[in-house]
Amino acid sequence: MAEREDDTTIPVPPPDGAAPAPLAPGRERPALEIAPGRVTGPLDFRALFGNDSAVELEIGIGKGRFLLAQAEARPGVNFLGIEWSLKYLRVARDRAERRGLANVRFYRADARHVLADLLPDASVSRVHVYCPDPWPKKRHRKRRLFTAATAAHLGRVLAAGGYLDVSTDVLEYFEEIRALIPSHAGLVEAVDPLFPIDGPEGRTSYELKYLALGRTLHRASYAQPALDVQGISRMMSPDSMRTG
């Protein structure tokens, strides 16, 4: 894998070519992309999605294979996809528009900034991070997504009863993540009742690519306990945690 995949190295396929799904009479299609770099304060999910449903976050969506499949399968959940590559993000956005999805939003940004500056405490019910760039060279390790600071924010933004789902094919990075998350996020390793889904709808493009190459995928799920470290309850209402 290239060390860093950015706009210049990612080949973007031609659009699907399908027309957007028809809208019900009188309904307007929501803008699915948050204008790049325009958000300066905490995200208001009710304003963004137009409802109070639970929000799941995917960091590094690539072309959106997983996010779009989940948004289609679970229309009662809102999905926010963060992706650094504008080209990738727009492929995902265009696909979502063609499929007529209303419960997904896209933001082109550095996920570390989104976690640190834009996500309110206990605001998301799941965070998905699949095949994050491993930055194999030692001098580049500081560019990795999973650091002590990121882990602390993952713990902060995840609501009680929520899950963090992670995968990577790089064992050394996996071990680092497994050390960081309990100690810096305060999350506990757990079984997420929804993930992993072994069918293709539960897999990302990179996961499918690596599995086809015969590589081992390391996966872990973590749960946010009902009480945070200060003992203040961050339970979400059962209604807001519903999954579809």
Ligand X SMILES: C[S@@+](CC[C@H](N)C(=O)[O-])C[C@H]1O[C@@H](n2cnc3c(N)ncnc32)[C@H](O)[C@@H]1O
Report the catalytic residues: 133
Residue pair 83/62 in contact by the 8 Å Cβ criterion: yes
Q: Is residue 117 within the footprint of ligand X (CB under 6 A)?
A: no
Stretch that binds ligand X, among 22-30, 93-101, 126-134, 215-223 (CB under 6 A): 126-134
Binder among 145, 160, 164, 236 for ligand X (CB under 6 A):
145
Q: Is residue 205 within the footprint of ligand X (CB under 6 A)?
A: yes
Minimal distance in Å, beta carbon 39 to ligand X? 14
> How many residues in the chain?
244
Nearer to ligand X, 59 or 124 (CB): 59
Q: Is residue 146 within the footprint of ligand X (CB under 6 A)?
A: no
Site string for ligand X, 45-74 (x = CB under 6 A): --------------xx-x------------
Q: Is residue 157 within the footprint of ligand X (CB under 6 A)?
A: no
Minimal distance in Å, beta carbon 219 to ligand X? 12
Cα separation, 81 vs 100, whole angstroms:
16
Binder among 54, 55, 57, 82 for ligand X (CB under 6 A):
82
For Cα atoms 28, 34, 39, give the angle at the middle one, nearest 5 degrees.
Answer: 135
Please count the other Cβ atoms lying within 10 Å of the Cβ belonging to residue 145: 21
Nearest C-alpha neighbor of 120 from the set 47, 43, 228, 39: 43
Cα separation, 122 vs 35, whole angstroms:
24
Nearer to ligand X, 59 or 119 (CB): 59
Q: For ligand X, which residue has the nearest CB? A: 60
Helix extents (H) in the chain: 45-49, 65-73, 86-98, 111-113, 148-157, 171-180, 205-212
Q: Is residue 126 within the footprint of ligand X (CB under 6 A)?
A: no
* Burial class (CB within 10 angstroms; exposed 0-12, middle 13-18, buried 19+) of 153: buried
Q: Is residue 84 within the footprint of ligand X (CB under 6 A)?
A: yes
Stretch that binds ligand X, among 36-44, 70-78, 127-135, 170-178 (CB under 6 A): 127-135
Beta-bridge partner residues of 83: 108
Nearer to ligand X, 49 or 206 (CB): 206
Strands 218-223 and 188-189 turn out to be antiparallel
Size of the site for ligand X (CB under 6 A): 21
Rg of the Cα atoms in the chain: 17
Stretch that binds ligand X, among 21-29, 39-47, 131-139, 153-161 (CB under 6 A): 131-139
**Cα distances (angstroms) measured from residue 145 to each of 72, 78, 114, 131, 222:** 27, 23, 12, 11, 17
Minimal distance in Å, beta carbon 174 to ligand X? 14
* Binding footprint of ligand X on the chain (CB under 6 A): 5, 59-60, 62, 82-85, 88, 110-112, 130-133, 145, 204-207
